[in-house]
């Protein structure tokens, strides 16, 4: 009987978080959940032996999400 490796589980968790982020009605919640998923994907990319495409893409998305979250937060204050 085969089980998932811890690396595979992390990959599935990242995929689930990103998928769930698109079900959020509020953009702030979407960005927060998406950022969490992307951070998990970065960990996954590292565990795969430094998969640069996975790491760079998700790091870019995290950066974009953080920039917009900061901009949105400044509008509220």
Whether residue 76 is predicted with pLDDT greater than 80 in this model: the reply is no
Residue 35 lies in a domain: yes
Residue 1 lies in a domain: no
User: Could you list the residue range(s) of the whole structural domain that residue 22 is in?
Assistant: 6-76
Please state at what angle helix 52-76 crosses helix 27-47, rounded to 10 degrees.
160
Residue pair 14/37 in contact (Cβ under 8 Å)? The answer is: yes
DSSP conformation class of 72: H
* pLDDT one-digit tens code per residue, 6-19: 999 999 999 999 99
Per the structure, the count of domains in the chain is 1
For residue 45, being part of any structural domain is answered with yes
Q: Is residue 52 domain-resident?
A: yes
Give the pTM. Answer: 0.91
Residue 12 within a domain: yes
């Amino acid at each position: 009987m085969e089980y998932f490796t811890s690396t595979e589980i992390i990959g599935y968790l990242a995929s689930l978080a990103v998928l769930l982020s698109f079900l959020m009605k509020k953009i702030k919640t979407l960005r927060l959940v998406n950022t969490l998923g992307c951070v998990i994907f970065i960990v996954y990319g590292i565990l795969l032996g430094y998969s640069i495409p996975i790491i760079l893409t998700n790091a870019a998305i995290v950066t974009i999400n953080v920039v917009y979250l900061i901009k949105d937060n400044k509008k509220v204050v």
